[in-house]
Structures are given as structure tokens and as C-alpha cells.
Amino acid sequence: MVSDTRFNCLPTMIGSLPHTDPVKACQVVTRFLKELPAWPQLPKRGFLEDINAQYSEGFPGVVLQDRRITVARAPGIQQLLEKLYTAFLANDASNYPTGREYASGLHNMMASSGKLPAIKGQIVGPITWGLSVADDTGQAIIYDDILGDAVPKFLRLKAIWQEKMLTRISKNTVIFLDEPYMAAFGAATFTLSRQKVIALINEVLQGIKGIKGIHCCANTDWSVLLATETNIISFDTYNYAGSLALYPAEMRAFFKRGGVIAWGVVPNTVAALNKESVSSLRDRLEEAMSPFTRQGIPFQQLIEQGLLTPSCGLAGLTEETAERVLELLADLSSNIRAKYT
């Protein structure tokens, strides 16, 4: 597995596209993201490809109905939980796949791409999934002692299965945990402690052998995610450029251990996109990096230990506009790399 995190601002994406044809979606990805493509999540194909439903397949007692995900404590759930724990202890993910109907982009990428220099995958994180799925009383399962403990073990098996699949087309793998619900950390309704959040995320990350990342699409307490075992922090640089720089000590330690920032500097809204160019986005990126250089992190290190991405997923755009985002992203990366590497 790859361990070198000097990406030199290669472009990649968060995951989702608005396309409904997985063949076309994979062609778009590999056209623009030649060195680090990500298999495309296609939620417009149906609810099964929604970020939370996509990784629900196989969880004990899970029920998908009316675009909701619940866990029913029906007879037999205890045996299913025991099976899950046995697989977790054996590190055996063979019975916890993500099927084609849940991830058509993943399966098409596997079938059509051939060998790739590197490949990025993604999976929902335990905080987001555990807070999105309710038990039969309406409570988020993350707060249940038994079901909550099963969540990171289940998602770890899902990550192991996906990474094993991706190694068939590249020995260099990157797997992101998507944690949009971390934007609520610290709110009155979010009662998980800092220590609990770190432990839940690490339990999933520890199953990933290659490079691992975390994406949060809004602001959060970044010191929490920086304290996990992640190699990459992915954030919306376009809208929250100064948020990471508020944690200078944690950031210096993160970079010292080879950590990477995925700079989400290309916007994913039409209004913002229409105002930007390669030149303006390069200026915005350099401005976002400047607080770190003032804190003693060399600019060249920021370039070397950097990735470039859209600010978040692209599923809310038209196909044409999403492709514009990826083209602008690829051109920006080429510009930055020609200038600084």
C-alpha cells in the first residue's frame, strides 16, 4: 500500500456526481482526474446510492423504507450481531460487500478502468451514519450501547471490503470517511464526547491499510479530527478558508507526521463557479495557505502535502456543470504544479 503522502496538489474529488449512467460517470472521472480518480457516487440513480443508504447493506436488523433507514430489533438480530462481531474479530469482510445496486459507480470502475496509478474510495463515517440511522424507538443508534458499538465495526468491515476491491485496479489506495455531521459537534443536540468521537472514527480508520482521510463539508472543531489517525483532512476551503488555521499547534504536528490537506478550493455552486477562473482560484488557494506559512509551516511543504478537490460533492449540479468543476480543478492543479513543483 502507498505510504508516501507527497501528492503535490494532485486533483481528486469528494465522491458524488449528478450523473445517472455509471459508465459515463466513470469516463468523466478518469478523463479529468487521471492520476487520482475517485469512483463516483451517483445518488440521483435512487435512494440506495444515498451516502447513508449506500453503506447500510448487511447491518443487523436494517430496514430501508420511505427513504428512511431504521434498525428493527426483530427476532434474530442478536445472532446477526454475533455474526458481525465474529467477522470483525477475524478481520473478514467477505460477507459485508457493497453491492452493485448500492454503488454502481464503484462496480463499473472496477470493470472498466484497468490498472490505475492510484484510486480513491469513500465511505460514510461512523458519526454521520450512527446519527442518521434510528432504532425502532426513533433514537439514533449511535446512542444505543449495543447498536452504537456495532456501527464502527460494521463500517470498518465495509472499508476493508472496499479497499480490497480497489487494490485489484491499483496498489495505491486512498479511502476517505465522509463526516458531514461533524459540523454539529459542540451543539446542544450533539452529545457525543470528544473522546468518543475520536475512538469511533479511529476504529474504522484502523481497518484501512492504505492512505486514509476524513472529509467534513462545513466548519467543525478541527482539533478533534486532527487527533484521529487520519492521514488527510479534507475541508471546504472555498467557504471556510481560515477554519483550519485556528489550530496552529495541531496543524504543525499533523504536517510533521506527514499529514495532508485536501484543499476544497473549487466551488460546487453555479453562482460561485461563474465568478472564478484558474487564476482567481490559485490566488484564493495561496491566500488560504498564507496563515500556515506565518505559523512556521513552509509553503513548499503545503504544496507537497496537498491535494486539490471541489469544496464538496457535485451531485447537486447538472452533469455539464459538474464536468466544468472537474475541468477547472484539473487545470488549477496543472497550473499549481507547473509553478511550484
Which three three-digit cell numbers place residue 274? Answer: 461563474
For 123-141, what is the mean pLDDT?
96
d(Cα 339, Cα 309) in Å, to the nearest integer? 18
Beta strands in the chain (DSSP E): 10-11, 62-65, 68-71, 119-124, 134-135, 173-178, 211-216, 232-235, 260-266, 306-310
Strand partners, 235: 216, 263
Q: Where are the domains of the chain?
A: 10-340
Which phi and psi (to 5°) does residue 58 adopt? 100, -5
Instruction: Please give the pLDDT value at position 225.
Output: 98
User: What is the average pLDDT value for the chain, to the nearest integer?
Assistant: 95
How much of the chain exceeds pLDDT 70, in percent? 99
pTM, to two decimals: 0.95
Architecture per CATH, 10-340: Alpha-Beta Barrel (3.20)
C-alpha torsion 258→262→263→269, nearest 10: -170
Instruction: Please give the pLDDT value at position 56.
Output: 97
pLDDT digits (tens, 9 = 90+) for 279-326: 999 999 999 999 999 999 999 999 999 999 999 999 999 999 999 999
